[in-house]
């Protein structure tokens, strides 16, 4: 868990300006010297600032190659500050495959579950998926949050600890939300970044509060075992989204809103909220 709120603000700044952000700009944004900021960032995240920025650029671009199949590869690379040749070289170093081969390899059948390795499933049809989706203008949520790096496989324990820690702020109106920044199909599970959150009033005095932006989203209403959530996400990305005119809104994060969780059976009911424009 990242416990330093300045580093959380630095990560937010990097993600918001990932196309051309620099170490110097991020350190200045946090009012730290470059050298102190580098040491603090590495201590909190386990990565250097340069390494984090480079990795996130490549992984976000890989996600774009996956969900924006019609866009030219060079255009996507340019969105993240790369020339055509530099992008191909950097991408190969990170994924051991060229961008064009990576894109061609992406299909629902090629995406393996990162946690339940023995699970077999098939994609929902477009019609099945579409029947579970609504288009909604969602509110903004003021939340208490904790940010974590790591596999979603351990998220159940993280939630238990989080809810116990902040139980004094939980009321009947409290909503449980989870903000996700990475697709485990393109980011190593141990590097996935996510926030676990509970909604609170605007005047909550805690330091680790944030505004989770709502706005226009497609909302997939999920009901089933926790192990099937990953498949639902991949169906949205690889089956449903390509057949619509919607584009992902990169300026907002995807998030889940939990409605029901049975900790014994791991049956869940939640809304998968995908910002679109």
Distances (CA, A) of 49 to 42, 53, 56, 90, 257: 7, 6, 11, 17, 31
Q: What is the pLDDT of residues 87-129, one digit of tens each?
A: 999 999 999 999 999 999 887 665 666 665 556 667 789 999 9
143 CB-side CA count, 13 A: 24
17: nearest Cα among 56, 44, 51, 68: 56
Count the neighbouring beta carbons within 10 Å of the beta carbon of residue 145. Answer: 23
Confidence of residue 263 (pLDDT cuts 50, 70, 90): confident
Q: Is 220:272 a contact under the CB 8 Å cutoff?
A: yes
Confidence band of 58 (pLDDT split at 50, 70, 90): very high
Report the distance separating Cα 75 and Cα 102, nearest Å. Answer: 16
Model pLDDT, residue 153: 79
pLDDT at 120: 63
CATH superfamily of 5-104: Homeodomain-like (1.10.10.60)
Question: 240 pLDDT band (50/70/90 cuts)?
Answer: very high
126 and 243 in contact (C-beta within 8 Å)?
A: yes
Does 56 have pLDDT greater than 80? yes
- Percentage of the chain modeled with pLDDT above 90: 82
Average pLDDT over residues 238-265: 93
Report the chain's mean pLDDT, rounded to a whole number: 93
**What local confidence, expressed as pLDDT, does residue 114 receive?**
61
**Tally of CB atoms within 10 A around 202:** 7
- According to CATH, where is 1.10.10.60 located in the chain? 5-104
Give 213's pLDDT tier (boundaries 50, 70, 90): very high
CATH node for 129-275: 3.20.80.10
* CA-based nearest residue to 76, from 157, 224, 186, 211: 186
* CA distance linking residue 197 with residue 192, whole number of Å: 16
Res 134 pLDDT > 60: yes
| pLDDT tens digits, 145-180 | 999 998 887 888 999 999 999 999 999 999 999 999
Q: Report the C-alpha gap between 141 and 4 in whole angstroms.
A: 22
Quick one: 208 exposed, middle or buried, by C-beta within 10 A (0-12, 13-18, 19+)? Answer: middle
Q: Are strands 209-212 and 267-275 parallel, antiparallel or unpaired?
A: unpaired
Residue 144 has pLDDT above 90, yes or no: yes
Residue 203 has a pLDDT of: 94
Give, rounded to a whole angstrom, the gap between the first and last alpha carbons of the chain.
32
Name the segment(s) of the chain with CATH classification 3.20.80.10: 129-275
């Amino acid at each position: 868990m990242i416990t330093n709120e300045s580093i959380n603000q630095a990560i937010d700044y990097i993600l918001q300006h990932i196309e051309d952000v620099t170490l110097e700009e991020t350190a200045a944004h946090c009012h730290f010297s470059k050298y102190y900021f580098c040491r603090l960032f590495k201590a909190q995240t386990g990565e250097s600032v340069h390494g984090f920025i480079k990795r996130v650029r490549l992984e976000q671009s890989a996600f774009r190659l996956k969900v924006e199949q019609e866009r030219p590869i060079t255009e996507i690379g340019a969105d993240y500050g790369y020339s055509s040749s530099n992008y191909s070289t950097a991408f190969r170093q990170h994924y051991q495959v060229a961008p064009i081969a990576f894109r061609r390899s992406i299909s629902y059948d090629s995406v393996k579950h990162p946690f339940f390795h023995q699970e077999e499933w098939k994609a929902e049809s477009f019609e099945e998926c579409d029947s579970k989706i609504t288009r909604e203008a969602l509110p903004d949520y003021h939340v208490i949050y904790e940010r974590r790096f790591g596999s979603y496989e351990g998220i159940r324990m993280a939630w238990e600890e989080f809810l116990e820690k902040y139980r004094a702020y939980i009321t009947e109106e409290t909503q449980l939300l989870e903000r996700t920044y990475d697709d485990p199909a393109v980011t190593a599970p141990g590097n996935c970044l996510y926030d676990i959150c509970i909604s609170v009033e605007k005047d909550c005095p805690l330091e680790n509060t944030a505004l989770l932006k709502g706005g226009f989203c497609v909302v997939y209403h999920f009901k089933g075992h926790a192990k099937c959530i990953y498949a639902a996400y991949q169906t949205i990305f690889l089956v449903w989204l390509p057949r619509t005119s919607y584009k992902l809104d990169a300026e907002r994060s995807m998030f889940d809103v939990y409605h029901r969780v049975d900790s014994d059976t791991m049956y869940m009911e939640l809304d998968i909220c995908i910002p679109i424009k």
